Structure 1
Amino acid sequence: MSVGPLSMSGMVVQITPEQFHDSEGVADWRVLWSVAFALYRTGDFATGVKLVAEIGRLAEAAGHHPDVNLRATVLEVRLVTKEHWSLTDADLALARQISDAAAALGVPADPSATRTWEFAIDAYDVDRVRAFWCAVLGYEMVGDSDIADPDGLYPPVFVQQMDVMREGRNRIHIDVGVPHEQAEARVAAAVAAGGRIVTDRFAPMHWTLADPEGNEVDLATWVGRD
C-alpha cells in the first residue's frame, strides 16, 4: 500500500486501519478502533527509558508525538493524529521508525497483548448526560458522543444515543478493543469462563458478551469501521 507524503501545505493524508495494516514495516502494531498500538517487552526499566528517549528524538524530528506509557518491564506506544482523530501517513511513518528503534535496541514487540477499553453509557439525551460526566470526572467533550480526560491519562467515556432502551440491559457497560486476529479466541475464552454471547450480529466489528450475572461488554476490533 502506498500513501502520499506530506503535502507542501503540511497537510497529512488520512489512511484506514486496513491500509495501515497492509503497509510494510508495521508488524509490531495493531489498530484498536482508530488508534495504532504497540507494546514492547523492554525487560527492565533502564531499557524502556532508552527506547522512550529514542522515540522522543524521532517524534521531535517528525513534529508528531505519540502517547507513551512506560512501566517497569513494558512500554506501550499509541499513535493517532489527534487533529483528525484518525490514522494518517504521519502515524505510519513514525510507527515504522519506532519499530526500527526498538529492533536496534533488541526490544521485542508483543502485538497480541495490545488492548484498550472505555466506559459506554446508554442515553436518551446525550448532551445532558455528557455534561454530567464531564463535571464528575473533570473530562471534556470530544466529537458528538465522547468525553475524554484532557491529559489523555484515563479511559474515555462513550455516550451512546438510544431511542429505546433494551429491557434487561445495564445502562453502563465496557467496550474493549482487541487485535482483530485475537477477537474470536477472546470471545471463546469469555464463554469458557462462564459468559455468553448476547449477539454476534455485528461481528467481526464487535460481539456483545455478558458475564454470568448479565453485565455486558462489547468486544471490538477495527474491522468494518471507516
Structure 2
Amino acid sequence: MTQQQLTGWRVVRGRLETAIKAPSFTEAVAFVQRVAEIAEEQNHHPDVDLRYNRVRVRVFSHDVGALTARDTRFAAAVDAVVEEAGLIRELERIGGTVITIDAVEISAVKPFWKAITGYRETQDDYLDDPSGILPSLWFQPSVERREQRSTTHVDVYVAHDQAEARVQAALDAGGRLVTDAYAPGFWVLADAEGNEACVCTTDLPEAPVGDFLLR
C-alpha cells in the first residue's frame, strides 16, 4: 500500500474526482481533449462530464474495483494540464446524489426499481444509471417496515472539506438536524415537514487535502 496526495482531487464513493471551470466553452473542450489524450497515452480512461465551461472528471480502476496507482498517475497528469491552462478548481461541485430505499427484503424490492428505472446492478445493493448522470439507488437493510415514516431518503455526497458548510446551509434554509452521531461520516437532516436527507462525506473524512490509500 502506498499513499498519494492530490490537493485538487477528492475521493467520493470510491472514485477520484475533480471539477474545473474554464474561461469559455472552447477552452473547456480543449481541456477535455487534453484529458482524452492523456487517457489514450496511459490506456486508462475516465468519466468526463462537460457542461458549457465546466468539466468534471472521475477516474477509477474498474478491473480491480479500487483506486490504484494508475488513477493517481492519471490525476497527476491532468493536474499539470490544469496548472498550465490556469483553470479554476471547483471542489464544491465534487460529489453526487444517492436515493436510499430502506427495505426488509432487498431481493424482493430491488427488481422492481431495476425494471422501472432501467438501471443496472453495479455493486452490492446498488443500482446505477448506465449513463452515469442520474442519481444512484441504494437499498439499505431495514429490520422492520415503517408505517409512519418514509423509507426513502436522499444521500448527498460531498467532498469531506465541504460537508459542514453544506449541513449549515441546509439548516439555514429551514432544515433541522436529526442526528450528527455519525459525523463526519454523515449527518442526518430533515426539512420542515420531516422529509430526511443525509449529507455524506468521502471514505476518509479525516484527510485534510485528499489523502487516500491505494492498492
Give the TM-score normalised by the residue count of structure 1.
Answer: 0.84
How many residues matched?
206
Name the CA distance, whole Å, in 2 between partners of 1:82 and 1:223: 18
CA RMSD of superposed structures (Å) = 1.9
Match of 1:201 among 181, 192, 211: 181
Asked whether the 8 Å contact 1:204–1:224 carries over to 2, the reply is no
Higher strand share: 2
Determine whether 1:53 maps to 2:54: no
| Structure 1 residue 171 corresponds to structure 2 residue 151 | yes
CA contact (8 A) 1:39 1:113 kept: yes
Structure 1 contact 125–161 (Cα < 8 Å) conserved: yes
The residue number in structure 1 matching 2:114 is 134
Q: CA deviation at 1:151?
A: 3.2
The amino acid that maps onto 2:77 is: Q
Letter of the structure 2 residue corresponding to residue 33 of structure 1: R
1:187 is the counterpart of 2:167:
yes
Which stretch of the first structure deviates more once superposed, 178-187 or 211-220?
178-187
- What is aligned with 1:159? 139
SS at match of 2:89: coil
Deviation at 1:43, TM superposition (A): 2.1
Q: For residue 58 of structure 2, what is the amino acid of its counterpart? A: R
| 8 A contact 2:12–2:157 mirrored in 1 | yes
The CA deviation at 1:153 is: 3.0
Alpha-carbon distance in 2 for matches of 1:185, 1:105: 29
Whether 2:106 is the aligned partner of 1:95: answer no
Any idea what the Cα deviations from partners look like across 1:50-92, whole Å, max 9, x if unmatched?
1111100111111111111101121111112223443221111
Does residue 111 (structure 1) correspond to residue 94 (structure 2)? The answer is no
Give the fraction of aligned pairs with identical amino acids, expressed as a percent.
35
For structure 1, the 5+ residue unaligned runs are 4-18
Q: Which moved more, 1:53-62 or 1:157-166?
A: 157-166
Is 1:130–1:141's contact at 8 Å kept on the other side of the alignment? Answer: no
| 2:19 counterpart SS class | strand
Q: Deviations over 1:19-64 (max 9, x none)?
A: 4xxx34x221112231222110112110011111110011111111
8 A contact 2:11–2:203 mirrored in 1:
no
Cα distance between partner residues in 1 of 2:64 and 2:107: 21
* TM-score when normalising by structure 2: 0.88
In structure 2, do the counterparts of structure 1 residues 81 and 175 end up closer, same or farther at CA, with 3 Å as the change threshold? same
C-alpha separation between the residues in 1 aligned to 2:147 and 2:174? Answer: 22
Match runs of 1:12-31 below 5 Å: 19=3, 23-24=4-5, 26-31=6-11
